[in-house]
Amino acid sequence: MIQALKTYDKSFAEGILARTSFYLDDDPVLRTLKPIENEETIRNNVITEICKELNIPSASYNKQAVLDYLDDELEKSTKLDEKTEKEMLNRLSTRGELPTDLYTVTVKMQDTIVVKELQNICKKKESLIIETVKKPDMMYNFGANYCASIFAKFYKEKHEYNNFFLLVIGKREGLTFVVDQVWWLYNDVISKNNFTDALELLKYFVEKFGVEVGFQGRTSKFFIDVIAKNKREFVIKVNRDKLKNQKKKESGFVAYHFLGSTPDGNNNFSIFFAIDIEKYKDYLTRHFRK
């Protein structure tokens, strides 16, 4: 065992080993986690001890060797029977701390008429969706009560006009990440913006393509951390006469709702927004035609 961690319990020590790996590898997962008191000092002590053991001057001298050492130590500490290991990984997933490359990704978008075209596109682009989850540029994890995550990755195309962010949203279900939203945002709407995390990118997307929603006297395009029992408490504020495809009896928008229990279990926190799907499909079609 690493001596710098011998005074801590097993769970905390394993967490520090994982977080130190995230730090050295500049993994975006670390930026989504709540900081631990004295984490930098503990982490530095761990790195110093490993470098001494490897007889190298610093982690930057041979970062891969330090990462391999950390992986070996973590593997020794967590070498458990299959059932216990799965339970531990599920707990990491629930907290949003599971390394993203360990997820099995399932694409399962809402089965509604208005998103059929998007479903077809996503089937053709499934490899990009999986890559975005496993190797994101940005991410945002909602806590254990939500088990929802947002992933974003930037892709460069031959023509700068078609450079895009792929925004992937879904639920963490144990070691499986179930994708039910995939959105493309191209340079024409994002080129002059800098985003700090995937939640900020999602809010920007909803501002561009969302519709007004009412909840308990408030109006917004994006509701987060509000208490509601179900999506029926939200009212879509849109002029239906202006929506397309009314003759086809299509709603013209699609609503997304995440629910999660409050810590006391008595209420539900909600994340809710609705997208003008026809407006978005028109936008998307222009790019896919080029």
pLDDT of residue 251: 54
Report yes or no on 92 lying in a domain: no
Strand partners, 150: 140, 169
Given a cut of 90, whether residue 45 has pLDDT beyond it is yes
Same domain for 129 and 70: no
| C-beta of residue 198 within 8 angstroms of C-beta of residue 183 | no
Of the candidates 26, 46, 79, which is a domain's last residue? 79
pLDDT of residue 80: 54
| C-beta of residue 150 within 8 angstroms of C-beta of residue 202 | yes
Q: Please, what is the average pLDDT of the chain?
A: 81
Q: Residue 64 belongs to what domain range?
A: 3-79
Given a cut of 80, whether residue 249 has pLDDT beyond it is no
What CA–CA distance (Å, rounded) separates 30 from 96? 10
pLDDT of residue 69: 92
Report yes or no on 227 lying in a domain: yes
Same domain for 70 and 39: yes
pLDDT, one tens digit per residue, over 100-157 is: 888 889 887 655 444 566 666 767 788 889 999 999 999 888 876 678 889 999 998 8
pLDDT, one tens digit per residue, over 208-248 is: 999 999 999 899 999 988 888 888 889 988 655 544 444 43
Report yes or no on 93 lying in a domain: no
pLDDT of residue 163: 85
Rounded to 10 degrees, the C-alpha dihedral 228/231/237/243 comes to 170
pLDDT of residue 264: 67
Percent pLDDT > 90 in the chain is 26
Same domain for 284 and 180: yes
What's the structural domain count of the chain?
2
Given a cut of 80, whether residue 189 has pLDDT beyond it is no
Distances (CA, A) of 47 to 21, 41, 54: 10, 10, 10
pLDDT of residue 112: 47
Mean pLDDT, residues 18-38: 85
Phi-psi region of 106 (alpha: psi -120 to 50; beta: other; left: phi over 0): beta
Same domain for 118 and 71: no
Instruction: Provide φ and ψ at 211, rounded to 5°.
Output: -115, 160
